[in-house]
Every structure is written in C-alpha cells, then in structure tokens.
Structure 1
C-alpha cells in the first residue's frame, strides 16, 4: 500500500508538469491560429478538428518562443521598405522561418 501511494503521488506531481511543457502555447494564440486556419479551409466542424490538430502538432515541434520568433519574422517579411528587407536577407531569420514551415508541413501531413 505504501508503494501505491508513492506511485500515485509521483504521477500527480509529474503529469501536470509534463502537460505544461507540451501545452506552453497560450489559449488565445491557439484560438487565433485555428480561426485563421478555418478562414482558409472552411468554417466547418471538420476544419475545426483539422486546424486544432494542426496547431497541436506545431506546438509539439516548436516551443512557444520559437513559434513567436518565426511568426514575427514572417509578419515582418510581409511588410515593405527597409525594415522588411532586414528580415528577408538575414540567414538566422531564414532558418527560424524554415523551422516553422517544416512544423507546418508535418502538421499538414498528419492533420489534413
């Protein structure tokens, strides 16, 4: 009985910590991704399921900080002028964006 309660205690401590690591994306960010994805793929229950799956897969590949960095590079590249040019020619920014695109491609394969 003593071992069972220690085992239960370990699971109670370890599982929430593991869940936090996997689910480090804020709910609002996940919802924003799903809404944008659904706008592209249709406003259906199937699109909701697939788009939710997609952000979950991306979150499993990229940390929240890496995702934010990649989204920032992507948004800055879409602009015009001198500021956007700084984000286009930089090899570090290109690598950051490539990581996001790889994660999106994997999510596409698994979810769509």
Structure 2
C-alpha cells in the first residue's frame, strides 16, 4: 500500500481550496497562510488524495436534508472516511497551529 507522502497526489487546486477555506476560518493573515499551508501538507502526508476526496464528498453530502443526506451521515464507510480526515486534520492542528 502506498503512503500519501510517496505520491504527492494532491492537485494544486485542491491544496489551494483547502488553504483558502482554512484562511477564511482562521483569519486572512500571513500567519494563517503559513499555518494553513502547513496544514494541507500534513493532511496530504497522512491521507491519500482519493480518501481525502471521499471524506470531503461525504461531509458535503451529509449536509443534504432528508433521506439522501442521511445515507451519508449514517453508513460505516462514511463515518470511516470522515474520521480519517478528522484525524489527519487534528494532527495538522498540532503540528501547524
């Protein structure tokens, strides 16, 4: 099995989207740019891009009301995907902020 750090498989646009969202949440300062850039690097080193996309999709679809969104909130696969992303983000928080 490959590790994300071996692949560097996050496209620039995905990294930029992450940093943009992170900066919106943490202040649009030079310091937050550095911290958010560090954060996506840590996430990318821990989570292969395909798993990152799966987790982001689950989180987005879980916002849909009703039965459709419920499928993304309640399945074990959805919980695993989001938990993997949250663990990577927690590690990034420790290392970068």
Alignment TM-score, normalising by the size of structure 1:
0.80
Larger Rg: 1
Instruction: Identify the residue that residue 16 of structure 2 maps to in structure 1.
Output: 31
More helix by percentage: 1
Count of residues paired in the alignment: 93
Which gives a bigger RCO, structure 1 or 2 (Cα 8 Å, sep 6+)?
Answer: 2
Alignment TM-score, normalising by the size of structure 2:
0.92
Question: How well do the aligned residues superpose, as a CA RMSD in angstroms?
Answer: 1.2
User: Unaligned 5+ residue runs, structure 1?
Assistant: 1-18
Q: Secondary structure at the match of 2:62?
A: helix
TM superposition outliers: structure 1 runs of 4+ over 3 Å = none
The one of 36, 44, 62 aligned to 1:59: 44
Q: Secondary structure at the match of 1:78?
A: coil
CA drift at 1:109: 0.4
